[in-house]
Structure 1
Amino acid sequence: NFVSNNEIHNQTNNKTILSSFQHDGIIEDQITIHVFYMAILLTQSIADVSYSVNFFLYSFSGIAFRINLKRSINTFQRH
């Protein structure tokens, strides 16, 4: 089971998606972290906008939603 140095060298130089990030240095890692952070902010913003838009869509289009919303508001106003 002798493995030559050349085989070890070839195995360690195989590129995967993550290995390219791991070997490019600190500057590349900071850029990668920044890109992932911006992607998270973008997806959270899209989710927040989606929730807000859904409320207005249900308010304008759903009769049952409007009736239950009015009941809820009236209940809170009484207390």
Structure 2
Amino acid sequence: MISKLKQTPPPPERVITPQCTTVVPANTHFETWRKGRYADLRPHTDPARCQRESVVEIDGKPYCTLHGGKVALAKWLKGELVEKVQA
């Protein structure tokens, strides 16, 4: 017999964030496929941009974790990031 020992917590409420701002480079066929595919799956999004939801905001633009990490790394390598000291 299986018995439940404790209650599982309810899942957290989903937070809707803007679409990632990164434009996906595409050739002609891939671009046509993206427009058709994402028009059906996600009609409220721009098919030319990354289809992930944003997680971070860098310089006022929303990015997903993949593209936000690339932008942050590029800024760090250029020396544009400075450490923020907590008071």
For normalisation by structure 1, the TM-score amounts to 0.30
- The structure carrying a bigger helix percent of its residues is 1
For the pair shown, which has the larger CA radius of gyration, 1 or 2? 1
For normalisation by structure 2, the TM-score amounts to 0.28
